[in-house]
Structure 1
Amino acid sequence: MKSYCYIHSLGFTRYFRIFAHQRVSYNVSKILDDIQKRQRKQQNGLRPSTKTSISTKTKPIKLKENLRYNIKNNSSTRKLNVKDNNLVAADLSIDCSTTIASTDIFQELGLDSYMCENLEEVMQNNTIVRNNAESYDIFDDINLTKRNLLSYIHVSIYNDNLSEAHQFLLEFIGKFSNSLSTNDIGNCCELLIKGWARKGNTDNVIELMDFIRNSLKLNLNTQIYEYYLLSLEKQIKETTKDNLEQVFSEMRSSNIKPEYLFFRSTLNRKEIQLIRDMFQRFDVDLKLKKYNFPKMSRNKHLQDIMAIPQKHYDPFEGIDLSQMNQLVEEQFCTEIDSTIKVKPIDAQFNDLDAKEPESFYKRLIELLESCWKQSLAEGFQNYLRTIRSKHKRLNGIPFVHYMTLMEPEIYVEAMIEEIRKCSSFSESYSPFALHLFETLGRKIMSKYLLRSNQNDDTFADFKNCYEKYVQYTMNPELIRKFNPREYWQHLIENGNHYFFDESKYWANNVLKEIGKDLYEVISNSTMFNSEILLMSQMSLNNKNQLIQPVISFLYKSHEMYKTKKEVRVHPLLIKLYEGARSDIHFESERLPMICPPVPWISSTFGGNLLHRSFIVRPPPYYPRKKLKNLPVNQMYPTFDSLNALSLCPWKINQKILDLAIDVFKNKGDLELDIPISLSGFGALPRASSDMTPKEKSFIYHKRKTQKKEQAEMYSLWVDCMYKLSIGNKFRDQIFWFPINTDFRSRVYPIPPNFNHLGSDLSRALLLFAKGKPLGEQGLKWLKIHLINLTGLKKRYSTEDRLAYCDEVLDLIFDSADKPFDGQRWWMQSDEKWQTLACCIELTNAIRSGDPANYVSHIPIHQDGSCNGLQHYAALGRDLLGAKSVNLFPDELPQDVYSDVAKLVELEIEKDCANNLEIANVVKGFISRKIVKQTVMTYVYGVTKYGAKLQVLKRLKEDSKFPENHKTTASLYISEKILLSIQKMFTQTRSIQNWLTNCAQIISNDYGATVEWVTPLGFPVVQSYYKAPKKTSPHLLPNTMKQKNAFPANFIHSLDSSHMMLTSLECHRNGLTFASVHDCYWTHASNIDLMNLYCRKQFVALHSQPILDNLAKQLRMQLESINKEREIENHRKFVQQVDQQISKGEFDLNSVMNSIYFFS
């Protein structure tokens, strides 16, 4: 694209032709600011600094030629229709005796000093698109300028500064139109029209409509006419029917049908009603059309499930819902406050001075925070004066408005909360500053969004809709008619309108800048005395005592020699907050909800009430727009599965919680995976003066190792403390987990600190809030589940496990009655805490006297048998592999790890017969443990080198293995393991090789990321890129990561599809269902049904030509890229992608009869 910018500076006139790739927005305002600064210096008689300036004397003719060439070859088809005398079309005219700009400006534009010296090359690189460049911008958002302008206008509407925003927009368009397309400008004008319409200023509305029509040459849309009608209703002078007829006539002349008014309106419910009342007053009947959401897209996998009539399903059966309305209000209040205070468990990691009680530290913290609030208030006011005087701008937009939106007290309190949060870090932990900056900026934005949405009634409209949805979740009859997504859409279609304007959100660069500035205020304004514990008293008036910064910044080297800015909290402050046992402050979205989550109806709407989440947890450079632009009904299966999962209510297992808290308070227990406190390590060893240098070196190494272990243990200790504290807070409440996915569609709860995907303890703490009688089969499955958790009978049949459970009933009762004082049988288990929870549940059921009617809340698990290899075996129809991973029916469960170990032993026997020395060395050392990790990671594409390291680690743990042969043996054994797996899964390696080869072609030869669509319609994008370069506006795929990750990610997307299909059928049949990837949970009485649906959906999934469909998708991607630019050897690459994978003889339908497929 090209545009022309006129700049008058330094006493002469100069013209620049501003150019950039259409996806890059250069921050031209920085150039203007710098030139104006230099101009002011000249006017004041000061000589502008030339120390950091560059000259354009070098090759001006060549420079001119480069510009002409690039503009000719990269000009955008976009039109600039803004009428402004400052936009002049002229050639580049440069006075070669003067300087253009200082180096720091070029750095602002992404140009370093090398580039400044090689300006011509930079210009060419930044305008010519590389053949293998990916189409995603290196910035967070390709529409950064547009987003910042829209958010600025929203802020101005909120602050009632519409006139200023109106004037600024027109000035901005005149100066920096190269950063905006005509559509972008039109969007900004449309938002201004909405603001003026709400104030009833029809004149300004008409002026902007004429500007869009005549200057921008854009057609007006339905929304603009809705705003126009609103302004007519709200204006002071009386509106007549002729005014309305004139509006309708204009609409028809623009090919807009008036009957489609309010079809997808962006006004709130009250405003729509105002216009409807105006229509009624003038007897206008337009026969307005009603919006209907698109129906479910055709999906082979969903047809059978959707054909099943929804059976009776009451997710809250047996739960007291009398307080639901109160809980809804409480959740709204929590999210309005944006933070939740959680009282920590009464335990401490560090050994503080025993002389001082907790009250001493609390008083100390109160005094410090009181002092900090005063200094932060002063520091914040000084900061505001500074940015006002310097006219600070971000992307050309005044920055001060973001910092004066709300009362200063709001910003000060946010900074105090940030100090509290940072004080919960360990002494050795210093998080990346950018992450903290963005988080703090997001917190400020959330407070603004809440107020803004309250002002324009968005909040009220949404709350009205949500309250009706909550009533739906408690009404089984409505659940039979609608699933959660369908009901929310039904509400919108039937007049329960709300609109949440995403353009209110601030771009990431704004969030980071806000956070950075506030952290600078914290660092400069908050101090304390590191000798405070030795002082008899602390005077708030003596500021000389406050001499140490609370928060400081440091720079650390990381991978690839990159230096990153980090935040460090004073270590004494961490101890003070721990001594005060201050409340833990969590962001509201980091904890479970106490009312049902909002159902997903789009990729940007669902989860928490007020905190907006994206349906995907995006990795760096994830193309969100690709997901947003999908037909919404393509994502319905994913939405429906997430909604079914998030509708499941949970409660705390109080017995397990109390036991775990007791262990945690009593210094922890590593055997029970409860982290120990600092006292468990003993004192750090000290060197003495009489030691030799070698002894001192040993002590130094020992101290360093112990400090590292202590830091790691502290992280585990804090994590456990968070879990137990959150569990304690929710001990008497019912709660829900809002859920979203990763980029492969794998499902995760949004609250990170406490959920059922956590450790053994986390899972043991959770129960289904809804209980179900065990029934005839439930007691059997409860017993089998208990033995499964112990891991003691992995190779035994279900009947043997059941018999074993009956044999050890006395030990089970003893474990339930006396967990720590009895025989502690439960501590032999692989999953100790879950085993103990199950012991207690089974004991209660049997002692109830009527187990069949005992209401059980404990989730019963059915776990896939090396699920990744199960999917590979099904894809390749491997008979031997299918038997090893229990796809094939058998009387006993097969253990793939033991099977591989046997094959490895046979290979070693052959080599021993040939007198191979290393074979004789390793003979007798092969065990299930040695091969397990390599077999597990084989599905994820483990390399030979990686397999060697895995085996070497196991050999080092075996003291009996000859030390001098461990390295050689690890290579030999790893090769035998990989060979044995390939023999067992004959087609798996060929599938992996094909996937890897496809990824290599797409990323290396076509310069694109690997993308595919799952069987349920979820688009997967592997956004693995090389580190971005300032010299290029594009990201290039990281070929190594693309090809290594493709097999694993593809299998993960399949296991997620299987889980989602199972969840949808379980929901359709009225079952409570939860999952941890390939481990499915339900009530004991429903295990047989869940097992049936699990197998049925696995067979249905793999009955489709999955690999053929994938090949078609990849081929389409290659063809699309080849149309844009001809790729050498394109036909050859397409043939490689189209390669047919031969299949084995395994009958997929036999999975239906396999007991141990999931068990």
Structure 2
Amino acid sequence: MNIKSNLSETPLFARQVELEAESLALGAQAYEKSHEAGQEAETRPGVSMLRKAVLPTAERIVQFIEEAETGKSGPRHNALPYVARIDPEEAAYLTARCAINGAADARMLQAVALSIGNAIQAHLDIKLMADSQPGLFHKVSEQLKKSTSGRHRSAVFQRVIAKHGKRAVSWDEREKLLVGKKLLDLFIEATGMVVAARMTDGSANTPIKLHFTPEHLAELEKAHAKCALLCPIHLPMVHPPRDWTSPYHGGYVTQVLNPRLVRTNSREYLDDLKNADLSQVYESINAIQSTPWQINTRVLDVIRDMWDAQENSPALVQRRDEPLPPRPYDVPEGVPVAQLTLDQQEALKEWKMAAAAVYEENEHRASQRVQMAQKLYVADRFAPEEAIYFPHSLDFRGRVYPFAAYLNPQGDDVAKGLLQFAEGKPLGARGAYWLKVHIANLFGVDKVSFADRIKWVEENADKLLDSGLDPRDGERFWETADSPVSALAACMEFVSYTYNGEGHVSRLPIHMDGSCSGLQHFSALLRDPVGGAAVNLVPQDKPGDIYTQVSNKGQELSDGRLEKQPEFSVAWNGKFKRSIAKQPTMTLCYAATKLGMAKMIAKAVKGEGEDYLGKDAHVFKSSVYAADVIWEALGEIVVAARGAMTWVQSASKVISATNQPMRWTTPMGLPVRQAYWVEEGQRIETFVDGKRVTLTLVTDTDKIDGRKQASSVAPNYVHSLDGAHLMRTALWGKENGLTALAVIHDSFGTHAADTDMLHAVIREAFIEQYAGNLLADMRDELIEQLKDHPDLIEKIPELPPVGNLNLEGVRDSLYLFA
């Protein structure tokens, strides 16, 4: 083990070294466990083997068909009429998949051949349904979307095909065995990856089994060993993280976990980072990861007890499965459907659909329970520690992420509720003020002024105290919050404040979130007074709510379409609301399309109730209409954001014409390199266990994918801006005495006593970031990139106009982050 550190060799340091070795071992164990539980062809080494096998096998299938069609006699030609019906590449994929899985388990040759025949038949049947009955296929696929059981999905599709669809082929067992055996022979001939052999005493009665050849088995085992080492389960640290001083050194104290500042495999980009001045980047990340945390044992005790008691709570994933609905009492079992009355058939159909929905939801919850158990394991493991730490790294845009899996400050509500700062600070009067604001926010009372939030807390003080004092046997008001476990932690803190007053020593992180942060950054970028007002860049008596503004504007525009589109205008009369407009508005800056917005609106409509738009409304068509209306509304409210997005997209097309990655530098000095390459090769699409599966047989070329570059640059650029703002906030916060920081992209938290300072730092950092013209800086960098292509410089579009928004007003805008 190579340890390079100037940290003292203390017992704590030695424990940390052991923890990092354990992280590696835990990852290897988890990998081996998932490998044993799953199918070989679905592992990374198995997929790699698949990719190598498919094209040679497909070529051998084509060769077999061509040879057989010459008319030469031979027993192998018995399979020709069957094999000739199958697309060679699809057949090759399914054959290779079954063969690799069979060889991994040393299955009998006949069983593997039959599995190939079954896979081919099921694929052809479902493919026929997808092509000839797309509506039925889509309906069944949607119903099975959450199902994690391949056997269940396959069985459902087979039942539906038997009742409503057509079969592409109707093979008996002998025919499936014939097809499978021939395809398996062709796979073995083409790849040499597996052999069929008797592996015992060689007697005639010993079944023939499939095995990997020695060289391929050795290659596979070596690949699995490497994967196991490359999949560590990162844990919190008990020793302060090593400061980042280079792109390769920082965070964890040893090199066994191979920490990197930026998560990328691009050697060229990492070299760029080594040559850049990243001093501010290092300082900000070091400030974030130096925050000492603790497990909030009061919350852990409650959540652990509820979990062990298998309580069903809105705060947790359901501990027990939902019971399947009872079978209709008047529908006899064992009677063919055709012999049932029409009413009985309809009742049976409805029962099966309801039972399938419950089954699939129970399957989905199973994986959520595993994740919950993992969080509690880590919380229990580190609960005795006085301080734990979370080392952080970046993505290529400069967004900050913790390494630790399962439990970290950027986790879900349960994860955040289980964590508190290790250092405590007395509340004081202002800390008590911010604690109350925080509590109201957690309960969804965040669209009103701070004064009204505090009033709400005071009016509900008895319920909050009951939750904190008696979380399990009381009224459980905490479970009604938007973030229940975080609310439970806050209610417990409220109890301590109520009894101890402003002298109460608090460890609770107090969070403040941005208002649709993507639009905040774009509005500041172009000094947009309209968009800026909508996202709280100007002082207001209460927070502006852009989602409500967009929904109101959408309603106004929809009402104006009554004569042109009466059907949809009437259906949407009075139905545009905040929940409908939120997702489309939020994702505008992230390259959302009208079609994407329509899907978001359709989901929101279903969430409002089955008949929200009327019993006869076509939900998706109505959602397409609403998306067009919302798109128009956004165009009127956030004009500048659209202009900035269009400019960076147009500029990226010019750079792509030179076959270069798109490069820019964030306001904190981090070089960003966006490079999406054209992929060469093909994709093979099949149906496995009722699920559409695509094998990608492609590799990156040395040609830039201009279309993907253009579609990705706006979201990547705005993420680089919010990442830079977070870094500057962390850096300035430390300089101004903040000793603890919780950060999640557009959300910042610290001690209640320090929240006034953090609140001010957030706004000052925002003003400073946009003091210049960042788009002009970006244009200058792009022109430098084009120095060898002077003819293209003039194709960089003119910068969009800058408005008259006074960014100094941000200093007094209390609801910029609130």
TM-score, normalisation: structure 1:
0.50
Aligned residues: 628
**Structure-2 residue corresponding to 1:955:** 605
**Conserved in 2, the CA contact under 8 Å of 1:869 and 1:939?**
yes
User: Shift of the alpha carbon at 1:1010?
Assistant: 1.9
Mapping of residues 569-588 of structure 1, within 5 Å: none
**Structure-2 residue corresponding to 1:923:** 573
Q: Relative CO higher for 1 or 2, CA cutoff 8 Å, sep ≥ 6?
A: 2
**Structure-2 residue corresponding to 1:608:** 252
CA separation of 1:641 and 1:992: change in aligned 2, threshold 3 A: same
Q: Are 2:752 and 1:1084 equivalent residues in the alignment?
A: yes
User: Which residue, out of 610, 631, 636, partners 1:983?
Assistant: 636
User: Shift of the alpha carbon at 1:1056?
Assistant: 0.6
Q: Are 2:342 and 1:690 equivalent residues in the alignment?
A: no
**Conserved in 2, the CA contact under 8 Å of 1:645 and 1:1074?**
yes
**Conserved in 1, the CA contact under 8 Å of 2:679 and 2:699?**
no
User: Shift of the alpha carbon at 1:702?
Assistant: 6.2
- The residue type paired with residue 504 of structure 2 is Y
Indicate the SS of the match to 1:751.
coil
**Structure-2 residue corresponding to 1:846:** 498
Mapping of residues 424-573 of structure 1, within 5 Å: 431-434=42-45, 523=104
- The residue type paired with residue 610 of structure 2 is S
User: Which residue, out of 1018, 1030, 1033, partners 2:670?
Assistant: 1018
User: Which residue, out of 997, 1009, 1012, partners 2:650?
Assistant: 997
**Conserved in 2, the CA contact under 8 Å of 1:1056 and 1:1077?**
yes
For 2:572 and 2:700, locate their aligned partners in 1 and report how far apart those are by CA, in whole Å: 54
Q: Are 2:537 and 1:887 equivalent residues in the alignment?
A: yes
User: Shift of the alpha carbon at 1:1000?
Assistant: 2.6
User: Shift of the alpha carbon at 1:431?
Assistant: 4.9
For 1:959 and 1:436, locate their aligned partners in 2 and report how far apart those are by CA, in whole Å: 42
**Structure-2 residue corresponding to 1:868:** 518
Indicate the SS of the match to 1:740.
strand
User: Shift of the alpha carbon at 1:669?
Assistant: 2.7
**Conserved in 2, the CA contact under 8 Å of 1:594 and 1:736?**
yes
**Conserved in 2, the CA contact under 8 Å of 1:642 and 1:739?**
yes
User: Shift of the alpha carbon at 1:920?
Assistant: 2.5
Indicate the SS of the match to 1:1137.
coil
Deviations 1:1010-1045 (A, max 9, x none): 221111121112232233459998333333321111
User: Which residue, out of 259, 273, 298, partners 1:655?
Assistant: 298
For 1:904 and 1:852, locate their aligned partners in 2 and report how far apart those are by CA, in whole Å: 46
Indicate the SS of the match to 1:1002.
helix
For 1:333 and 1:790, locate their aligned partners in 2 and report how far apart those are by CA, in whole Å: 41
User: Shift of the alpha carbon at 1:418?
Assistant: 5.0
Q: Are 2:556 and 1:906 equivalent residues in the alignment?
A: yes
Structure of greater Rg:
1
For 1:709 and 1:774, locate their aligned partners in 2 and report how far apart those are by CA, in whole Å: 44
User: Which residue, out of 353, 366, 375, partners 1:714?
Assistant: 366
- The residue type paired with residue 1075 of structure 1 is V
CA separation of 1:914 and 1:684: change in aligned 2, threshold 3 A: closer
For 2:383 and 2:564, locate their aligned partners in 1 and report how far apart those are by CA, in whole Å: 65
Q: Are 2:798 and 1:1139 equivalent residues in the alignment?
A: yes
TM-score, normalisation: structure 2:
0.70
CA separation of 1:668 and 1:617: change in aligned 2, threshold 3 A: farther
User: Shift of the alpha carbon at 1:794?
Assistant: 2.6
For 1:795 and 1:418, locate their aligned partners in 2 and report how far apart those are by CA, in whole Å: 45
**Structure-1 residue corresponding to 2:186:** none
Mapping of residues 347-426 of structure 1, within 5 Å: 419-420=32-33, 422=35
User: Which residue, out of 744, 747, 762, partners 1:1094?
Assistant: 762
**Structure-1 residue corresponding to 2:816:** 1157
For 1:434 and 1:860, locate their aligned partners in 2 and report how far apart those are by CA, in whole Å: 45
CA separation of 1:418 and 1:839: change in aligned 2, threshold 3 A: closer
**Conserved in 2, the CA contact under 8 Å of 1:649 and 1:768?**
yes
**Structure-1 residue corresponding to 2:406:** 753
**Conserved in 2, the CA contact under 8 Å of 1:863 and 1:1079?**
yes
**Structure-1 residue corresponding to 2:776:** 1108
RMSD: 3.9
User: Which residue, out of 431, 434, 438, partners 1:785?
Assistant: 438
User: Which residue, out of 305, 308, 311, partners 1:665?
Assistant: 308
**Conserved in 2, the CA contact under 8 Å of 1:1028 and 1:1035?**
no
CA separation of 1:268 and 1:702: change in aligned 2, threshold 3 A: closer
For 2:587 and 2:394, locate their aligned partners in 1 and report how far apart those are by CA, in whole Å: 22
For 1:707 and 1:1046, locate their aligned partners in 2 and report how far apart those are by CA, in whole Å: 41
For 1:929 and 1:429, locate their aligned partners in 2 and report how far apart those are by CA, in whole Å: 44
**Structure-2 residue corresponding to 1:596:** 240
**Conserved in 2, the CA contact under 8 Å of 1:606 and 1:612?**
no
User: Shift of the alpha carbon at 1:1146?
Assistant: 0.8
CA separation of 1:980 and 1:267: change in aligned 2, threshold 3 A: closer
User: Which residue, out of 812, 823, 834, partners 2:486?
Assistant: 834
CA separation of 1:431 and 1:669: change in aligned 2, threshold 3 A: farther
CA separation of 1:915 and 1:330: change in aligned 2, threshold 3 A: closer
User: Shift of the alpha carbon at 1:1151?
Assistant: 0.2
**Conserved in 2, the CA contact under 8 Å of 1:1073 and 1:1080?**
yes
**Conserved in 2, the CA contact under 8 Å of 1:327 and 1:595?**
yes
CA separation of 1:417 and 1:763: change in aligned 2, threshold 3 A: closer
CA separation of 1:430 and 1:1082: change in aligned 2, threshold 3 A: farther
Q: Are 2:495 and 1:856 equivalent residues in the alignment?
A: no
Gaps of 5+ in 2: 50-99, 109-199, 213-219, 339-344, 682-696
For 1:691 and 1:524, locate their aligned partners in 2 and report how far apart those are by CA, in whole Å: 38
User: Shift of the alpha carbon at 1:901?
Assistant: 1.0
For 1:826 and 1:725, locate their aligned partners in 2 and report how far apart those are by CA, in whole Å: 24
User: Shift of the alpha carbon at 1:664?
Assistant: 2.0
**Conserved in 2, the CA contact under 8 Å of 1:431 and 1:566?**
no
- The residue type paired with residue 806 of structure 2 is D
User: Which residue, out of 1033, 1039, 1043, partners 2:710?
Assistant: 1043
Indicate the SS of the match to 2:701.
coil
Moved more, 326-335 or 743-752: 326-335
User: Shift of the alpha carbon at 1:955?
Assistant: 2.6
User: Shift of the alpha carbon at 1:605?
Assistant: 0.8
Mapping of residues 88-487 of structure 1, within 5 Å: 325-339=10-24, 419-420=32-33, 422=35, 431-434=42-45
User: Which residue, out of 594, 597, 617, partners 1:964?
Assistant: 617
CA separation of 1:1115 and 1:964: change in aligned 2, threshold 3 A: same
User: Shift of the alpha carbon at 1:678?
Assistant: 4.2
User: Shift of the alpha carbon at 1:1087?
Assistant: 0.7
For 1:608 and 1:721, locate their aligned partners in 2 and report how far apart those are by CA, in whole Å: 25
User: Shift of the alpha carbon at 1:1053?
Assistant: 0.3
CA separation of 1:1110 and 1:1039: change in aligned 2, threshold 3 A: same
**Structure-2 residue corresponding to 1:444:** none
**Structure-2 residue corresponding to 1:723:** 375
**Conserved in 1, the CA contact under 8 Å of 2:249 and 2:261?**
no
**Structure-2 residue corresponding to 1:275:** none
User: Shift of the alpha carbon at 1:769?
Assistant: 0.4
For 1:526 and 1:429, locate their aligned partners in 2 and report how far apart those are by CA, in whole Å: 13
User: Which residue, out of 388, 408, 412, partners 1:735?
Assistant: 388
**Structure-1 residue corresponding to 2:397:** 744
**Structure-1 residue corresponding to 2:732:** 1065
For 1:1032 and 1:862, locate their aligned partners in 2 and report how far apart those are by CA, in whole Å: 43
Indicate the SS of the match to 1:1107.
helix
User: Shift of the alpha carbon at 1:1118?
Assistant: 2.7
For 1:1094 and 1:522, locate their aligned partners in 2 and report how far apart those are by CA, in whole Å: 59
For 1:1010 and 1:552, locate their aligned partners in 2 and report how far apart those are by CA, in whole Å: 48
Indicate the SS of the match to 2:600.
helix
For 1:586 and 1:420, locate their aligned partners in 2 and report how far apart those are by CA, in whole Å: 15
**Conserved in 2, the CA contact under 8 Å of 1:664 and 1:674?**
no
Indicate the SS of the match to 2:672.
strand
User: Shift of the alpha carbon at 1:1084?
Assistant: 0.4
**Conserved in 2, the CA contact under 8 Å of 1:334 and 1:588?**
no
